[in-house]
């Protein structure tokens, strides 16, 4: 975007040394980070060179005189501009690669999509790839995750169906989380910019914290902090709240809902999604009730790769308003569903460490003999020990972790998969 007259005048005053030190520092930073500012100063320098050449030619046609040097602020500013632009541009090119926001991909699981800053779709990200400002990352499946290392040593992870873009911000290392789940472990080196995440409802800032965010399109953002602290700002009215370790806040666009940080409740060992009363906890397509089922959630088609589509429904623990749910030995999942085919159905879970970050994802395959007759509503129970990790580096068991979400998937549209109820059932007392 072209500079306005006020910005141009401020740049010239800076070059003439007419700004106070605090304002000069801001302008110097602006010159380093803004290509239009550097282009404007280059133009000033080029014009100054032309003027100097004209004056030199005029002097060559006049009788020689001994002249006392006269200080001309404009010419000194032009000379300074030449030095600053030619040398500063070179330094900026070097420093931007060192100090500009970048993120290296260090681990990947499941399908993802990489949209470069120029809008071109790139191949799927693999370990070793680097994201720069303007680049966008989408994880396409409930089973997906991508772990990133920032160039300041911090770590973030995008999981499930999520969308994240690195954005330019003069005062922060900033990301835009359009929807989905982000997990972060942030430690800001001395002199570095604070870390910031912008969602549809909030802005979250920190310099040192371990936290995670779950957000949906223009609905709510749930921020949970395990260590350190973050500041959250609601975009609809600018209200702010500090979220300390072991606390969380729910940020809604509605100003009727008070913005407050509350201590994370102690875990429970059972959970019912209560889909009708917590629709924000659910991903899928609602269908009208019929004579067999009052609650009908149809699995939604998701494009996860070239010519590859799955049909999925997803259920979030935190967005349902539940306390954390601890997975214990002997616990089981109980799901009421209907499928029109005998093809397998897959159930998966996402887990986190107790009062900690992302732990991993586990899945179980329901075979034909477990699903019964096609077209009939059935109830399946899956012991937690039947779930297997999606990554070999994970513990073979999810016991001792906290449940964050559940997904149910069919690979075929003909299944017309419907979910009627999702529960996590506590272990029997005598177990």
Q: What DSSP assignment string belongs to 65-99? A: --------HHHHHHHHHHHHHHHHHHHHHHHHHHH
Residue 424 and residue 270 in contact, taking contact as beta carbons nearer than 8 Å? yes
Q: Note the pLDDT tens digit of each residue in 77-129.
A: 445 544 454 444 434 333 433 457 899 999 999 999 999 998 899 889 999 99
> Residues 62, 121: one domain?
no
Tell which wins on pLDDT, 366 or 10: 366
DSSP 109: E
Mean pLDDT on 267-284: 93
pTM over 0.95: no
Q: Report DSSP state, residue 390.
A: S
Q: Choose the final residue of a domain: 99, 134, 161.
A: 99
Among 81, 79, 85, 70, residue whose Cα is nearest residue 12: 81
Q: Where are the alpha helices (DSSP H) in 100-225?
A: none
Give the model confidence (pLDDT) of 329-372 as tens digits.
999 999 999 999 999 999 999 999 998 999 999 999 999 888 88
Q: Same structural domain for residues 88 and 169?
A: no
> What is d(CA 226, CA 243) in angstroms, rounded to the nearest whole number?
10
What's the total number of domains in the chain? 3
> In this structure, is residue 242 part of a structural domain?
yes
In terms of residue numbers, what domain contains 48? 5-99
Q: What is the pLDDT of residues 222-256, one digit of tens each?
A: 999 999 999 999 999 999 999 999 999 999 888 88
In a shared domain, residues 133 and 240 = yes
Burial of 409 (0-12, 13-18, 19+ CB in 10 A): buried
Q: What are phi and psi of 272, to 5 degrees?
A: -130, 125
Q: Is residue 430 part of a domain?
A: no
Tokens at residue 7, please? Answer: 């910005």
**Which residue's entry shows tokens 């809902």?**
257
Q: How confident is the model at residue 58 (pLDDT cuts 50, 70, 90)?
A: low
Q: Are 418 and 293 contained in the same domain?
A: yes
Which of 263, 287, 304 represents a domain boundary (last residue)? 263
| Structure-token match 């089981």, residue found | 332
Higher per-residue pLDDT: 26 or 352: 352
Please answer whether residues 371 and 345 qualify as being in contact, where contact means their C-beta atoms are separated by less than 8 angstroms.
yes
293-319 residue pLDDT tens: 999 999 999 999 888 999 999 999 999
* CB neighbour list of residue 277: distance below 8 Å, 6 or more residues apart: none
Per-residue confidence (pLDDT) for residue 47, from 0 to 100: 61
Verify that 172 and 318 share a domain, yes or no: no
For residue 166, being part of any structural domain is answered with yes
| Same domain as 121, residue 78 | no
Alpha-carbon span 202 to 198, nearest angstrom? 6
pLDDT in tens, 136-160: 999 999 999 999 999 889 999 999 9
DSSP string, 356-367: SSEEEEEEEEE-
The CATH number that applies at residue 225 is: 2.60.120.1440
């Amino acid at each position: 975007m072209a500079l306005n007259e006020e910005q141009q005048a401020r740049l010239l005053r800076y070059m003439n040394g007419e700004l106070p030190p605090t304002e000069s520092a801001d302008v110097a930073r602006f010159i380093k980070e803004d290509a239009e500012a550097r282009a404007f100063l280059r133009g000033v320098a080029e014009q100054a060179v032309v003027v100097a050449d004209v004056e030199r030619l005029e002097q060559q046609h006049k009788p020689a005189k001994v002249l006392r040097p006269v200080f001309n602020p404009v010419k000194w500013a032009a000379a300074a501009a030449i030095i600053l632009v030619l040398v500063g541009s070179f330094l900026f090119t070097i420093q931007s690669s060192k100090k500009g926001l970048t993120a290296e991909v260090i681990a990947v699981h499941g399908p993802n999509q990489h949209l470069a800053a120029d809008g071109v779709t790139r191949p799927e990200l693999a370990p070793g790839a680097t994201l720069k400002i303007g680049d966008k990352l989408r994880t396409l499946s409930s089973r997906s995750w991508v772990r990133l290392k920032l160039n300041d040593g911090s770590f973030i992870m995008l999981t499930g169906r999520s969308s994240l873009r690195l954005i330019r911000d003069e005062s922060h290392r900033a990301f835009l989380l359009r929807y989905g789940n982000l997990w972060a472990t942030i430690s800001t080196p001395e002199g570095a910019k604070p870390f910031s995440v912008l969602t549809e409802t909030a802005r979250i800032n920190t310099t040192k914290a371990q936290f995670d965010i779950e957000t949906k399109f223009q609905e709510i953002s749930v921020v949970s902090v395990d260590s350190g602290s973050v500041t959250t700002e609601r975009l609809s009215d600018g209200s702010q709240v500090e979220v300390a370790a072991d606390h969380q806040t729910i940020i809604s666009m509605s100003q009727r809902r008070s913005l407050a940080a509350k201590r994370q409740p102690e875990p429970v060992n059972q959970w019912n999604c209560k889909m009708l009363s917590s629709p924000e906890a659910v991903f899928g397509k609602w269908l009208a009730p019929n004579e067999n089922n009052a609650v009908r959630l149809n699995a939604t088609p998701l494009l996860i790769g070239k010519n590859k589509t799955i049909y999925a429904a997803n259920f979030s623990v935190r967005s349902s308003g539940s306390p954390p749910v601890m997975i214990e030995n002997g616990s089981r999942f109980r799901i009421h569903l209907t499928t029109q085919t005998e093809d397998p159905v897959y159930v998966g879970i996402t887990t986190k460490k107790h009062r900690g970050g992302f732990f991993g994802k586990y899945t179980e395959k329901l075979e034909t003999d477990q699903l019964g007759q096609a077209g009939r509503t059935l109830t399946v129970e899956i012991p937690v020990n039947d779930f297997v990790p999606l990554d070999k580096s994970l513990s073979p068991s999810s016991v001792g972790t906290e449940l964050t979400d559940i997904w149910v998937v069919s690979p075929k549209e003909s299944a017309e998969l419907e979910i009627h109820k999702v529960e996590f059932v506590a272990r029997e007392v005598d177990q």
